Structure 1
């Protein structure tokens, strides 16, 4: 059950409307996910949507790898709506279904490509411990450079915030969608 009061065009402040229009006018095609909760603090919503836009569509990572990091993060926090939304993006981006399924059920995926293995190890260690080992960092740095490591950190951090928001706000799965972590 949603915890935040639903904002409507009639109940939004002028600033909330402006930010909601900016969010809905982009590639997101609507104000959903964490944004209805974040709109209660419109400055936050605006800044988070800008960070999210960069992470989703402007990093050096192809969707297959960024969505892999997002799924690891969603599974770690049991962020059901995040998993629901990003599983589709991961499949569309070329991530193999068996990789996503292993992550969903808490197993280490098998037969990962070198870049997938590096992203998985980095995201998994970061989400599990709040840090990564020197070896894991060096492996990611050798493949993605320091920029890629910074973007991978930001991806996990941003989607942790998204997952927390979705969970705390009680954002439901669409009707008929099964709970991926039941």
Structure 2
């Protein structure tokens, strides 16, 4: 029985040497901050360097300058990664979330698709807000009131933008069929719901 040959990637992984004059400045910025180099969503973004630069600038704000505390920001990203089963998003952000102070228990429970137990008030507000917004496409008065108890208006807007941005990242990754770096184990098993 002959094994099925692997099909070529939709977007072969670029290297810095392959970048043209329009792509190179963005590639150089990416490698300074990315734990996955120009892989993951960046590999797709480099194919549209003007859009890629705009997205990179947005990513910078939503990762490093957002008004949401880092562990909660990363929690929101992981919620999206789990909803989309985004291998690359989870692979890249779970270690950042843990380093930022999100508990290993919360990360592990979320990874299984469960609502994490024993969350702090701000963690529960993030989980409920992001999950409700992304699954029902609205936020109930009760969920909004919970978020408002712990977050400012700016934080609620930033949290919404983080969720939406990382849905877009998950979409880029899904469209391009991006995977974790070679030799690394994907976080979600094949067929895992």
TM-score computed with the length of structure 1 as normaliser: 0.91
1:48 corresponding residue in structure 2 = 55
Give distance in 2, aligned partners of 1:180 and 1:7: 23
Relative distance call for 1:42 and 1:123 in structure 2 (3 A) is same
Given that 2:110 and 2:116 are in contact with CA atoms closer than 8 Å, whether structure 1 keeps it comes out as yes
Relative distance call for 1:9 and 1:133 in structure 2 (3 A) is same
1:74 corresponding residue in structure 2 = 81
Give distance in 2, aligned partners of 1:12 and 1:176: 24
1:136 counterpart = 2:136: no
Q: State the Cα distance separating 1:173 from its structure 2 match.
A: 1.6
Q: Pick from 104, 110, 114: which aligns with 1:107?
A: 114
TM-score computed with the length of structure 2 as normaliser: 0.87
Q: Deviations over 1:127-182 (max 9, x none)?
A: 21222212212221231111001100111011111111112212222344333221
Q: Pick from 28, 35, 41: which aligns with 2:34?
A: 28
Q: Which has the larger radius of gyration?
A: 2
Compare 59-68 and 39-48 and name the one that shifted more.
59-68
2:161 corresponding residue in structure 1 = 154
Q: In the comparison of the two structures, how many residue pairs are matched?
A: 181
Q: Deviations over 1:56-83 (max 9, x none)?
A: 1111222210111011000001101100
Given that 1:141 and 1:148 are in contact with CA atoms closer than 8 Å, whether structure 2 keeps it comes out as no
Q: Which has the higher contact order (CA 8 A, sep 6+)?
A: 1
Compare 120-129 and 83-92 and name the one that shifted more.
120-129
Q: Structure 2, unaligned stretches of length 5 or more? A: 1-7
Given that 2:132 and 2:139 are in contact with CA atoms closer than 8 Å, whether structure 1 keeps it comes out as yes
